[in-house]
Structure 1
Amino acid sequence: MIIFRYLTREILITMSAVAGVLLLVIMGSRFIRYFTNAAEGDIPASILGTLMLYHLPGFLELILPLAFFLGILLAYGQLYLNSEITVLVACGISPNRLLQVTMLPTLLVTVLVASCSLWLTSSGARHNEILLEEQQSRLDFSSLAPGRFQEFGDGRTAYIEGLNDKQTRMQEVFISERQRREDDTPQTVVTRARSGYQTVDKETGSRFLVLAEGERYSVEPGLAQAERLEFDTYAVRLSRATEMSELDDAEYATTAELIASDDPEAQAQLQWRISLPLMVPILTLLALPLSKVNPRQGRFAKLLPAIFLHISYLSLLLAALDAIGRGALSATIGMWPIHLGYLVLGWWLARRSQLGGMR
């Protein structure tokens, strides 16, 4: 029991360190992308945390198998360098027993990856897509930066000098938009107002921008004439009430919906979701013999070949995902030969390691 706790702790600590570094890099890259969009006014900064949170399962389902694979390699590699594996063998710990001990943390990681791939990732992706679509379908004051010209749909460009303390009313508003006259000729309409606020018609559900104390000009570059309209209150319709578009992509479907569907893309996505947790025990079988290193070589001697092995495994699965989705590969065959091939490779490496001795 003491040996089991010791080995499990070494694997999980190393895996957590690797996963933390990888997660920081990947989430940092995605956060920078969203932060750039927020700085440009495409999305409000207030939803950045929510977007990143719902992206987390999608990151973890890819990071955890690799982190666990490297965790076994580094943890057991250190045990070989310190001759601790030699001591364990002398105490009667066989290769099969070592594999059994490793299988409990393997089961834990498999359950975590399965929870992400079969449930949390699709739910989070769907939530983010709906959230972004809602932001694109309406003008949100939190996404408008005072002192900047920003586009907000339908060819409109807006500029505001500032917002009040409650972020509910705009001050010194400028709006430029392209419209067409009754004879279908284009014109540029420029509207300036002292203030403005948003409102929604309860009957129709349409969203309006209500401007107060301003002028509206209809001009056409190159012509020496313009139409001018002064107003106390003027409402600009920003969007009509529309239903949220259906998210039919297999990426957003639940696992139950994928099982019930015969569509090639749905079958490809289903096999991909099953493949991610299935990778974990197969990678464990591969990692055990690869972690055996000579003290003169160092613990990182087999790390690079092992990483290339993982990359090849994942690349073949991605290629199969694309082929099944396009109908070029039968879903009946699917990704299973790839898993079988690497399972046989892991069994062969483990058998070869046992014949050569754990020491």
Structure 2
Amino acid sequence: MNLIERYIMTGIRRLVVTIIGFLIFIFASYSAQRYLTEAANGTLALAVVLDVVFYKVLIALEMLLPVGLYVSVGVTLGQMYTDSEITAISASGASPLRLYSAVMFLAVPLSILVTLLSMYGRPWAYAQIYQLEQQSQSELDIRHLQAKKFAINNNGRMILAQQIFPASHHLNDALIYTSSGNKTNVFKARIVDIVDASPTTPAVMLHSGTAYVLAHQGSDDNEQIYRNLRLNLKPFDQNPDVKRKAKSISTLSHSRDPADIAERQWRESRGVCAFLMALLAISLSRVKPRQGRFSTLLPLTLLFIVIFYGGNICRTLVANGALPVIPGVWLIPLLMLAGVFILVIRDFALLEKIRR
């Protein structure tokens, strides 16, 4: 490795560590605030908040690592253009490929890491989050119920109790609200015994209360007074998109569902996109002397927005069957590759002008 490549890599690497560390801190703080709020509201067990934040950060690395390298390349090379260092390198007869080779020394290992995270780390983290939420968001888990406060899960089921007795697993003066199909059920009970607290088969025994069935259409409402009533509640069910994100790559590979194909292509293309983003940042970093290295941030930001939302739109279109699976989600990486070729040709053309 020559001096030029080492010099460029040192500047980029130092900034990459700073930016990625900052992004991880910001994202972790935001996630912690969000899930601590859910824990305070009784919809998530406090004990699992740190675990969920860790898994969320692991998932976010798929995006944070490419963004960190992308911005670092643009800003570092932008500073070198501002200080006329790139001009001096070109005047010495060095090929523009020296810039690309320096960036690729960093981009290749980072892209491999992003690919591994996307293919294996991300689905594993989603599976862990799903399991933790399934265990903690059952409102029958008396450990995180709070007296005189509604506990809500993702199924829209709510429970409110005036008194909670964890040792005996029962509630006093409780109200349970459920909604399914075309009716809403409201159960009011003097005492509620938790028969089964598992999130898969939750069940309670209601004593001395009233059950109300409210029809969403028509007038088929009724009221029932009971002494003892066993109530089997609907288990916690995660969002289908989250379940798909937790599927292994082998499962997705054997699926013919367009949504599964879109998810597989998304994972497979993340490392390639990270690599191409770093190469695109080389040309976008070009600024005039003394213009300021941060002047590159606007074009870098605009291109990132196009890549990010373009990828999400393609994934949605493939999942809905509106876009053929070939090229499918790979449409954006192919366009990025074409852009890299065009910009490399432009760099060589500019080099010829400088030499003349």
- Structures share fold, TM-score greater than 0.5: yes
For 1:224, the equivalent position in structure 2 comes to none
SS state at 2:99 partner? helix
Kindly indicate whether residue 79 of structure 2 is the aligned counterpart of residue 82 of structure 1. Answer: no
Kindly indicate whether residue 281 of structure 2 is the aligned counterpart of residue 287 of structure 1. Answer: yes
What code does the residue aligned with 2:60 have? F
Contact 1:285 1:347 in 2 (8 A): no
Cα deviation per residue 1:192-223 (whole Å; 9 max; x = unaligned)? 69xx8x7769xxx9777799xxxx643699xx
**Structure 2 unmatched ranges of 5 or more:** 179-184, 213-224
Cα deviation per residue 1:199-252 (whole Å; 9 max; x = unaligned)? 769xxx9777799xxxx643699xxxxx998xxxxx996868989989794322
Contact 1:138 1:238 in 2 (8 A): no
For 2:311, the equivalent position in structure 1 comes to 317
For 1:19, the equivalent position in structure 2 comes to 20
CA distance change for structure 1 residues 355 and 315 in 2, over 3 Å: closer, same or farther? same
Q: Note the 1:221-232 alignment, pairs <5 A.
A: none
In the aligned structure 2, how far is the partner of 1:342 from the partner of 1:68? Answer: 16
Kindly indicate whether residue 190 of structure 2 is the aligned counterpart of residue 191 of structure 1. Answer: yes
CA distance change for structure 1 residues 240 and 7 in 2, over 3 Å: closer, same or farther? same
State TM-score, norm by structure 2: 0.77
In the aligned structure 1, how far is the partner of 2:231 from the partner of 2:27? Answer: 36
Contact 1:208 1:236 in 2 (8 A): no
Residue 343 of structure 1: CA displacement?
1.5
In the aligned structure 2, how far is the partner of 1:188 from the partner of 1:311? Answer: 49
Cα deviation per residue 1:245-280 (whole Å; 9 max; x = unaligned)? 897943221111212222211111111112211112
SS state at 2:316 partner? helix
For 1:135, the equivalent position in structure 2 comes to 136
Residue 321 of structure 1: CA displacement?
0.7
What code does the residue aligned with 2:252 have? L
**Structure 1 unmatched ranges of 5 or more:** 180-185, 222-226, 230-234
State TM-score, norm by structure 1: 0.77
Question: What's the Cα RMSD here?
Answer: 3.8
Q: Which moved more, 1:41-50 or 1:307-316?
A: 307-316
Residue 294 of structure 1: CA displacement?
1.2
SS state at 1:306 partner? helix
Contact 1:286 1:350 in 2 (8 A): no
For 2:324, the equivalent position in structure 1 comes to 330
SS state at 1:93 partner? coil
Question: Which of these residues, 276, 294, 297, is aligned with residue 270 of structure 2?
Answer: 276
Contact 2:78 2:296 in 1 (8 A): no
Contact 1:80 1:294 in 2 (8 A): yes
What code does the residue aligned with 2:190 have? T
SS state at 1:357 partner? helix
Cα deviation per residue 1:22-58 (whole Å; 9 max; x = unaligned)? 3333333333222221111011111001111112232
For 1:232, the equivalent position in structure 2 comes to none
